[in-house]
Amino acid sequence: MTEQQPPADDELRYEPLTFDNAPALAALFKERDVWRNFGYEAEPSSFVLRMRLRQGDMTGLLAFRPSTERYVAFVICFGMPGPDAELEYAIAVPDPVERRRGVGKLVGPYSTDYYFDNNLCKKLWAWGDVNNAAMIALAKACDLDFVGYEEKGRQMVDGHTKTVAVQMTKDRWAEKKARRAAASTAPPTSTEG
């Protein structure tokens, strides 16, 4: 049996997390035990997630693929949003098919733009298992800055793990966007002599 791939031109739609779509987030947390990567001791219910949203210390986005009529990824940030906020940032793409399609590499830059363009924070930061190759690759693909390692690591559900810290500030993101824009409009250089 072959995996059915969505069409290549199938654009993702993004929706801010709300009280109403919290059940979709809960369903994504349950896929492949994603909740364990977030340090939860059990699957968070839509009720628990709605409470976090109501308290205002969790914000995020859901990525929806129209062709499959499924939510395929999410971004959540922990902390109170605001122009001077420093928010803990996480991206999850539970479905391996969607991961292979590079969905995280689309969701990452989109969500970074979303948080900075809407003045929701001045800094996004994250940490993860230093041995999680997918997390490291996603952080590099999203052009996040690597800012440190912890040998003693952090406590996760399964015990301590060595961790890497990444971040992006609003000013640094603006610099990187400007460089990418300039590079994309620069005339091609000739190697003919």
**CATH of residue 163:** 3.40.630.30
Answer whether 138's CB lies under 8 Å from 178's CB: no
Q: At residue 7, what is the residue type?
A: P
Q: From CA 91, how far away is CA 104, in angstroms rounded? A: 7
Mean local confidence (pLDDT), 158-164? 74
Q: From CA 130, how far away is CA 136, in angstroms rounded? A: 7
Mean local confidence (pLDDT), 121-136? 88
Q: From CA 107, how far away is CA 75, in angstroms rounded? A: 8
189 domain residue, yes or no = no
* pLDDT at 58 > cutoff 50: yes
How high does pLDDT run on average in the chain?
Answer: 86
Q: From CA 68, how far away is CA 61, in angstroms rounded? A: 18
Q: Is 105 exposed, middle or buried (0-12, 13-18, 19+ CB in 10 A)?
A: middle
Structural domains counted in the chain: 1
3-state secondary structure of 164: strand
How does 49-79 read in b/e, with b if 16+ C-beta sit within 10 Å? Answer: bbebbeeeebbbbbbbbeeeeebbbbbbbeb
Q: Who has greater pLDDT, 64 or 8?
A: 64
3-state secondary structure of 143: coil
Distance separating the N- and C-terminal Cα atoms of the chain: 53
Q: From CA 157, how far away is CA 100, in angstroms rounded? A: 26
Range of the domain at 110: 13-180
125 domain residue, yes or no = yes
Mean local confidence (pLDDT), 25-46? 83
129 domain residue, yes or no = yes
- Counting residues of the chain whose pLDDT is more than 90, the rounded percentage is 53
* pLDDT at 11 > cutoff 50: yes
3 domain residue, yes or no = no
186 domain residue, yes or no = no
67 domain residue, yes or no = yes
Residue 11 CB neighbour total at 10 angstroms: 11
Provide the pLDDT confidence category of residue 175 given band limits of 50, 70 and 90. very high
